[in-house]
Amino acid sequence: MQKILVARPIFPDVIDRLKQYFDVDWHTGDALPADELARRLADKDGALTAGDPITAATLAAAPRLRAVANMAVGYNNFDMAAFNAANVLGTNTPDVLNETTADFGWALMMAAARRIAEAEHFLRAGKWGKWSYDMFLGPDVYGSTLGIVGMGRIGQAIARRAQGFNMRVIYHNRSRVAPAIEAELNAEYRTKEALLREADHVVLVLPYTAENHHTIGAAELALMKRSATLTNIARGGIVDDAALAGALRERRIAAAGLDVFEGEPKVHPALLTVPNVVLTPHIASASEATRRAMANLAADNLIAALGEGPRAGRPPNPINPDVMGKARS
């Protein structure tokens, strides 16, 4: 029986599914340190991860490893050049979290714009003693301009929500989406710079790559309206968190909502000292139904990638399908 590592706690019933096909080593604690991860992968044929870094060194220490299923859409934790060189298949879990993540991004944007976290902290601290016409004034969402950076599946889901708020939608993407999609979403393409100047609310939904590192930095924040908000539900590293903290402190933008951070689970300490930011611990996909769907899809990918189950040899979501059928090198 082939051996696999499940590197994170997941639903026990998904583990039971995997045990039908594999000898399962299930890690139920915090994220494994790199050396322990490599040690436990040394005799494994496959792995199910959730953001754990799989590097060239990790792969070199695991000569039997043929497939790694990531329980996430993003896979910047995978060194894909090393995966390709070693003929190791990587998979991810797209689509099943689109709507849940879009819901959360919308909620985070609304909370930032309407200063909900600031107001709650004020109330809990016992500071609310009277009504005031200028208490926690924030920008409107209804009828404003929404700027979406990254018009993939989740970006399009967010754009659909904007229609119910009578918002003007502008977007920036590596390439323009099809005219039919633009028409369906009533969305207009902009350069990144033009989008930042025009938008009342900017939502980031783009993948993390080396090219996208600090897509939003000090220069980009300087282009935004002082009344604008920034929401990041994409990946840490897309925003320069230190520059954002400075812009928030100096009120060069109105507010921000962040679900992802550079170097998470650590958060830049400056972000913890500014009141006009809503901070959440990478939970945009955290509905039970969605997380179950992600776990089961990751399991489906791993089962099929290792030649088991009804889809043997045909995993639903290969990242680098060109290595399929090739011997491990």
Cα(235)–Cα(301) distance, integer angstroms: 23
Condensed to tens digits (0 to 9), the pLDDT of residues 200-212 reads: 999 999 999 999 9
Alpha helices in 213-314 (DSSP H): 218-223, 241-249, 288-305
Closest CA to 69 of 322, 313, 302: 302
Architecture of domain 3-96+288-323: 3-Layer(aba) Sandwich (3.40)
The residue from 27, 168, 197, 282 that is catalytic is: 282
Active site includes 292?
Answer: no
Q: Are 170 and 187 in contact (CB under 8 A)?
A: yes
Task: Identify the pLDDT of residue 329.
Answer: 86
Cα(68)–Cα(82) distance, integer angstroms: 13
Same fold, 3-96+288-323 and 98-279: yes
Domain ranges of the chain: 3-96+288-323, 98-279
Condensed to tens digits (0 to 9), the pLDDT of residues 10-35 reads: 999 999 999 999 999 999 999 999 99
Task: Identify the pLDDT of residue 106.
Answer: 98
For the cut 90, the answer to whether the pLDDT of residue 103 exceeds it is yes
The SS3 of residue 270 is: helix
Residue 47 binned pLDDT confidence (cut-offs 50, 70, 90): very high
Condensed to tens digits (0 to 9), the pLDDT of residues 192-248 reads: 999 999 999 999 999 999 999 999 999 999 999 999 999 999 999 999 999 999 999
The residues with which 230 forms a beta bridge, in sequence order, are 202, 256
Q: Is the pTM of this model over 0.75?
A: yes
Condensed to tens digits (0 to 9), the pLDDT of residues 109-142 reads: 999 999 999 999 999 999 999 999 999 999 999 9
Please tell me the total number of residues recorded for the chain in this structure. 329
Cα(305)–Cα(310) distance, integer angstroms: 11
The residue from 66, 114, 115, 235 that is catalytic is: 235
Mean local confidence (pLDDT), 94-112: 97
Q: Are 74 and 92 in contact (CB under 8 A)?
A: yes
Domain 98-279 classification at class level:
alpha beta
Active site includes 282?
Answer: yes
The residue from 182, 184, 188, 264 that is catalytic is: 264
Residue with tokens 């051996």: 3
DSSP 8-state assignment for residue 312 = T
Q: Are 38 and 54 in contact (CB under 8 A)?
A: no
Cα(132)–Cα(141) distance, integer angstroms: 21
Active site includes 264?
Answer: yes
- Tell me how far the alpha carbon of residue 30 is from its chain's centroid: 20
The residues with which 203 forms a beta bridge, in sequence order, are 148, 231
